[in-house]
Structure 1
Amino acid sequence: MIVAFTGAGISKASGIQTFMETPEVRDQLYRSFALNHPDQYKETVRGLVDVISKAKPNDAHRALADYNIPVITMNIDRLHEQAGSETVIALHGVLPEMEELEYADQLFNKPVLYGDPAPNYQKAINRILKMETGDTLLVIGASRYTQIAVQLREIAYSKGARIVEVQENAEVEVRKILEKIMNKS
């Protein structure tokens, strides 16, 4: 079994900058910021929606869909679903729809903000707990910035799964790695 765990790095080739590249955006994705500066927060989210609405899945997203690999993602961009992935656990929710932007500061899980509980964490942990010796956790563009990113790796490792990291050039490397893994099966 292969499970993919993806972060912002998978979507860079689709034109979406990571929060490491845009810390000013990340700094505004706190519940306290949304409550204390609702107009500025809504403008930030509107900017994210604008950028992400123009993005298209790249070959890393498509390769995961082509091989029907279940995905756990930290991303809020829905590019996995657009590529055709059927099993996606979005750890941090998704972006609001256009008609929700006027009250985006009042939404929960659209996206999950720092300071909010993340209801999909347990789903992701449960998925990783099903891994066994010989399985592969394919980590794509996911730093160790958040505790959940570290925890999922540690759980997979403790279950005997092999951890394969793709932190650069995901749009080319993911398909190559999946072809190698699948040819060995």
Structure 2
Amino acid sequence: MKIIAFTGAGISKQSNIPTFMERPDVREKLFRSYANRHHEEYNEVIKQLKANMNGAQPNDAHYALAEYKIPIITMNIDGLHQLAGSNALELHGGLPEDDEMEIAWSLYNKPVLYGDPAPNYQKAYEMVSALEPNDVFIVVGCSYHTAIACDLRELAKSRGAKIIEIQEDAAHNVRKTIKELLK
């Protein structure tokens, strides 16, 4: 049995990182067209995002996925999977380095913005396409608000994989779910 995890903002909520659903003022500014037209305002949004994530630490959900070496596809840009020791496929890139903040508006994949190509989407489809019946696709803290989140669930389902949704209390439920699966 193969297990793949697909994570969204909900996995990091217990690490005190607000979700975009809680910050619509931020989400509406994460468009390439906005960055190109409003350089300084966009840079300020990215600085705020980065400040929200500075000092955040992985929670037990991140550590459990790392300890059990579960392959991860993530929509997050917070870097917490990497801090926990996983090598996650980042669908939406990461954040600019401190020395890139003045040119944040011009960067690609730091993060991937609405209107930008997302180079890791194809890799995610390939990972999920490799699932077989009786494999497991664990969805942690992902809404249905993005096409990729819906597509990957549907693809896993079409491959015959069992889909397990963990939308609440990821810090406790991820480890518990993995232990159950591996009994």
TM-score between both structures, scaled by the size of structure 2: 0.98
1:11 alignment partner in structure 2 = 12
Q: CA deviation at 1:153?
A: 0.4
Q: Is 1:151 aligned to 2:151, yes or no?
A: yes
2:22 aligns to what SS in structure 1?
Answer: coil
1:21 alignment partner in structure 2 = 22
Q: CA deviation at 1:50?
A: 1.2
2:39 alignment partner in structure 1 = 38
1:149 aligns to what SS in structure 2?
Answer: helix
1:3 aligns to what SS in structure 2?
Answer: strand
Q: CA deviation at 1:114?
A: 0.4
Query: 4+ residue runs of structure 1 moved beyond 2 angstroms?
Result: none
Q: CA deviation at 1:16?
A: 0.5
Q: CA deviation at 1:5?
A: 0.1
Listed one character per residue, the Cα deviations across residues 74-125 of structure 1 (whole Å, up to 9, x for unaligned) are 0001100100113x11000001111110100000000000011100000000
Q: CA deviation at 1:22?
A: 0.3
Instruction: Structure 1 unaligned segments of length 5 or more: list them.
Output: none
Q: Distance in 1 between matches of 2:106 and 2:41?
A: 13
Instruction: Structure 2 unaligned segments of length 5 or more: list them.
Output: none
1:166 alignment partner in structure 2 = 166
Output the aligned Cα RMSD: 0.5
Q: Distance in 1 between matches of 2:155 and 2:17?
A: 29
Q: CA deviation at 1:54?
A: 1.5
Q: CA deviation at 1:152?
A: 0.2
Amino acid at match of 2:93: G
Listed one character per residue, the Cα deviations across residues 42-72 of structure 1 (whole Å, up to 9, x for unaligned) are 0010111111121100000000001000000
Amino acid at match of 2:55: K
Amino acid at match of 2:142: A
Q: Is 1:73 aligned to 2:107, yes or no?
A: no
Amino acid at match of 1:23: P
Number of matched pairs: 182
Q: Is 1:107 aligned to 2:100, yes or no?
A: no
Amino acid at match of 1:57: P
